[in-house]
C-alpha cells in the first residue's frame, strides 16, 4: 500500500526504512527539514498534506503539542484523501487520543492509536512492538504496515485510548525498574558487592527480561547515550500522572520516580538516556 510517515527522528527513520524494504510505496515528511540522508525506496514530499493522500499515514512526533500543530491546527484532516487511515505511533496522552478520535470521526477519516515499544535500534531492525486499538477493519488494513516495522502486533481493543493507556503504563513501569536497580546498587555496593556480580545474580534468578538486561548494562557501564531521552521520559511520566488523576487515583511510586526524574532533568541530564536517573542517585550516595 502507499504509506505516509511524518517524523524522521531516531524512531521514524528506522520505521520508514523498514516500510520501504517491505515493498510499500512510502511518502515521508519531516518538520525540521529533509531528515538527513535519503531513505532508499521512500520519497520526501514538500508538505504534510501530500502525505495524507496515502492509504495509511503513520505519525511519529514527539508529543501532543507537535501532533496538534502538524495535524489539527494545520487542518490536514480537511484535505486528507477519502478513506485514508491515520495511526499515531508516538506516546500521547489518553485525553488527546480521545480528542483525536473525535476529530477524525467528524472528518470521516479513520483513526488508530498505535504507540510502539522499542528503542531506535529496535526501530532500525523492524523489531518494535506495536500496541494498537481502534476500529477492527482499520487495524486489519494497517496490519501489513505494522508488520513491516514490528516483531509483534498487540491489539488491545476498539477504543484508541486503550492503546495509549497501555503504552503510558508500560513506560511508567520501565522507570520503576530503572529506579529499583539503582536503589538496589546503593545497598549492595555499600556492602562490597560489585555491580557486575549483583546484576548477574538478579538476571539469572529473579529479574530476567529485556528491560532489566538493557538498563542494567547501561547502569553497570555508566553509559547513558540517549536511546530514549530523559526529557521525553519525564513527559511520559506526566502523562501517567494525568491519567491517574483522571481515574481519581494517587500512585505513590509514580510520584516518587517522577520527582527523581525531574531532579535529573534539572541537573542537566535531560538529553541523556532516561536510565541516567540511576546516575543521579548513585552520585548522591557515593
Is 152 one of the catalytic residues? Answer: no
C-alpha cell at 186: 546503593
108 torsion bin: left (phi>0), alpha (psi -120 to 50), beta (else) = left
Packing angle of the helix pair 230-246, 94-107 (nearest 10 deg)? 80
C-alpha cell at 148: 513491516
Q: What are phi and psi of 6, to 5 degrees?
A: -110, 120
Instruction: Name every residue whose Cβ is closer than 8 Å to that of residue 77 and which is 6 or more positions away in sequence.
Output: 52, 71, 103, 104, 107, 109
Residue 47: C-alpha distances to residues 67, 105, 110, 143, 212 (Å): 15, 23, 20, 26, 41
What radius of gyration, in Å, describes the C-alpha atoms of the chain? Answer: 20
How many CB atoms lie under 10 A from the CB of residue 25?
15
Beta strand residue intervals within the chain, DSSP E: 2-6, 25-29, 42-44, 56-59, 85-88, 110-113, 116-117, 128-134, 150-157
- Determine whether 97 is exposed, middle or buried from the number of CB atoms within 10 Å of its CB (0-12, 13-18, 19+): buried
Catalytically annotated residue among 37, 147, 167, 235: 167
Q: Could you give the CA distance from residue 62 to residue 85 in angstroms, rounded to a whole number?
A: 20
Bridge partner residues of 152 (DSSP): 129
- Residues forming the active site: 167
Amino acid at each position: 500500500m502507499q504509506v505516509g510517515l511524518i517524523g524522521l527522528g531516531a524512531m521514524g527513520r528506522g520505521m520508514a526504512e523498514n516500510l520501504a524494504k517491505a515493498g510499500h510505496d512510502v511518502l515521508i515528511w519531516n518538520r525540521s527539514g529533509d531528515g538527513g540522508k535519503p531513505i532508499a525506496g521512500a520519497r520526501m514530499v514538500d508538505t504534510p498534506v501530500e502525505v495524507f493522500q496515502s492509504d495509511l499515514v503513520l505519525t511519529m512526533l514527539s508529543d501532543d503539542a507537535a501532533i496538534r500543530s502538524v495535524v489539527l491546527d494545520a487542518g490536514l484532516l480537511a484535505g486528507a484523501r477519502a478513506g485514508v487511515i491515520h495511526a499515531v505511533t508516538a506516546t500521547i496522552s489518553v485525553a488527546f487520543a480521545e480528542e483525536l478520535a473525535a476529530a477524525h470521526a467528524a472528518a470521516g477519516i479513520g483513526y488508530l492509536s498505535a504507540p510502539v515499544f522499542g528503542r531506535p535500534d529496535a526501530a532500525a531492525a523492524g523489531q518494535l512492538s506495536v500496541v494498537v486499538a481502534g476500529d477492527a477493519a482499520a487495524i486489519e488494513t494497517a496490519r501489513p504496515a505494522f508488520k513491516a516495522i514490528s516483531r509483534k502486533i498487540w491489539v488491545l481493543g476498539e477504543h484508541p485510548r486503550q492503546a495509549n493507556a497501555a503504552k503510558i503504563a508500560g513506560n511508567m513501569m520501565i522507570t520503576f525498574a530503572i529506579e529499583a536497580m539503582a536503589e538496589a546498587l546503593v545497598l549492595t555496593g555499600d556492602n562490597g558487592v560489585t555491580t557486575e556480580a549483583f546484576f548477574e545474580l538478579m538476571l539469572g534468578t529473579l529479574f530476567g527480561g529485556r528491560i532489566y538486561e538493557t538498563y542494567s548494562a547501561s547502569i553497570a557501564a555508566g553509559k547513558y547515550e540517549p536511546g530514549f531521552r530523559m526529557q521525553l521520559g519525564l513527559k511520559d511520566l506526566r502523562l501517567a500522572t494525568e491519567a491517574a488523576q483522571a481515574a481519581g487515583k494517587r500512585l505513590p511510586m509514580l510520584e516518587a520516580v517522577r520527582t527523581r526524574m525531574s531532579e535529573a532533568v534539572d541537573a542537566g541530564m535531560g538529553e541523556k538516556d532516561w536510565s541516567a536517573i540511576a546516575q543521579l542517585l548513585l552520585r548522591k550516595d557515593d
